[in-house]
């Protein structure tokens, strides 16, 4: 499942540089993808139980969850997956600009990865995003523990899904609108700032046990996610042209596989972190909120909020101090690339192939003339 998901995910987001070389247009396409993505991965938590229960009732007559209901749910999800994938495959068309001509032949994988590690902006964005997604995944994975073992209100955990869904649906369409007037570095900074405040409030809530405070913290935790993730996606996408200008090679496939790879790494680590926190804080087995000691709560607070908060601060520092690739710089890079292609300073692969063939033909004619 993970292998095929990665193939689909990389090729899906790989359409962004194939549709446009303009950074603002890319933000619009990215926002559209993230918007419908929010409907999918947040909305599924809202509809899964009603769908399973309904089809269980249809096939068994009982108002409870049965295998038939889960089978129907799986079929529905599979059909939606096929329809949405086909929509992209048959509804989009790659551009054939001079910039992308270099992407047609990238040489062997070793050359591609060599160019990848020579792209400093890509590496800094990747490091910043990895720190963020590890922290975000670790905290998101233990929020249920907060409601179950500290707040003693597991039923309220559904708030996290509802807030995440609403935040995604509201903030995603706003990103390209705001980005027309506000540089994405600024949007990223304020998003990370909101996230830092959210972590502070969540840590306080472990002592105050105030649902109001938790609600505010979850709102601040959910709102900036779209801005942070979209800024990272756009920065990684724009680094394609940066690497092309710097290294002379356009490595779309390898570059665009970085974010899904980082998501997989962070997901694997966050799963391990979640299990570690559960054991370290005594939140396993038949334990309840009444069994939690001050030491258990402090342990949970340190690993669930303090350590991720440090990672978030490091992520922000890396991005603000090391990532220089913004919309203005990207536009200049595109202009410079187009000028060099037009002047012949950079020759695309197809033109180079024709030139090599003509040179070989001329050399052959000269050799035959010499023999005669």
Q: How far is CA 269 from CA 8, 139, 146, in A?
A: 22, 12, 20
Fold of 2-335: Growth Hormone; Chain: A; (1.20.1250)
Task: Please tell me the distance from the alpha carbon of residue 38 to that of residue 23, in angstroms, as a whole number.
Answer: 22
pLDDT band at residue 350 under the 50/70/90 scheme: very low
pLDDT at 327 over 80: yes
Q: What's the rounded mean pLDDT across residues 175-203? A: 91
pLDDT at 160 over 70: yes
Averaged confidence pLDDT in the chain: 82
Question: Domain spans of the chain?
Answer: 2-335
pLDDT at 93 over 90: no
pLDDT in tens, 60-91: 988 878 899 999 999 999 999 899 889 888 88
Q: Phi and psi dihedrals of 151, rounded to 5?
A: -80, -20
> Which residues touch 130 (CB under 8 Å, ≥6 apart)?
262, 265, 266
pLDDT at 197 over 90: yes
pLDDT at 104 over 90: no
pLDDT of the residue at 247: 78
Task: Please tell me the distance from the alpha carbon of residue 324 to that of residue 308, in angstroms, as a whole number.
Answer: 25
First CA to last CA distance, the chain: 65
Lowest mean pLDDT: which of 128-137, 138-147, 266-275, 350-359?
350-359
Q: Is 271 helix (H, G, I), strand (E, B) or coil?
A: helix
Q: Are 53 and 64 in contact, with CB atoms under 8 Å apart?
A: yes
Which position has the higher pLDDT, 57 or 5? 57
Burial class, 366, CB count within 10 angstroms (exposed 0-12 / middle 13-18 / buried 19+): exposed
């Amino acid at each position: 499942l993970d292998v095929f998901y990665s193939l689909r995910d990389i090729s899906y987001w790989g359409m962004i540089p194939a549709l446009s070389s303009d950074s603002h247009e890319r933000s619009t396409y990215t926002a559209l993808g993230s918007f419908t993505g929010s409907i999918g991965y947040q909305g599924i938590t809202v509809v899964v139980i009603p769908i399973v229960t309904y089809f269980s009732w249809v096939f068994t007559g009982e108002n409870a969850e049965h295998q038939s209901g889960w089978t129907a749910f799986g079929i529905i999800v599979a059909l939606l997956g096929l329809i949405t994938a086909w929509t992209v495959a048959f509804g989009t068309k790659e551009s054939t600009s001079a910039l992308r001509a270099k992407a047609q032949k990238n040489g062997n994988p070793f050359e591609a990865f060599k160019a990848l590690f020579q792209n400093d902006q890509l590496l800094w964005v990747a490091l910043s995003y990895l720190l963020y997604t590890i922290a975000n995944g670790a905290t998101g994975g233990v929020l249920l523990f907060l409601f179950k073992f500290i707040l003693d209100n597991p039923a309220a955990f559904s708030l996290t899904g509802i807030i995440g869904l609403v935040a995604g649906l509201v903030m995603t369409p706003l990103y390209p609108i705001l980005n027309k007037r506000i540089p994405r570095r600024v949007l990223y900074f304020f998003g990370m700032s909101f996230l830092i405040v959210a972590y502070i409030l969540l840590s306080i809530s472990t002592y105050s046990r105030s649902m109001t405070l938790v609600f505010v913290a979850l709102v601040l935790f959910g709102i900036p996610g779209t801005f942070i993730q979209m800024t990272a996606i756009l920065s990684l996408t724009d680094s394609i042209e940066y690497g092309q200008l710097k290294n002379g090679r356009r490595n779309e496939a390898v570059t665009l596989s970085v974010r899904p790879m980082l998501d997989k790494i962070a997901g694997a680590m966050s799963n391990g972190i979640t299990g570690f926190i559960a054991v370290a804080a005594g939140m396993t087995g038949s334990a309840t909120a009444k069994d939690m000691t001050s030491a258990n709560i402090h342990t949970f607070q340190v690993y669930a909020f303090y350590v991720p908060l440090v990672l978030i601060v490091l992520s922000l520092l890396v991005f603000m101090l090391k990532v220089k690739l913004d919309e203005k710089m990207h536009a200049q890079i595109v202009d410079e690339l187009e000028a060099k292609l037009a002047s012949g300073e950079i020759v695309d692969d197809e033109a180079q192939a024709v030139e090599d063939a003509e040179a070989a033909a001329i050399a052959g004619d000269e050799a035959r003339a010499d023999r005669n």
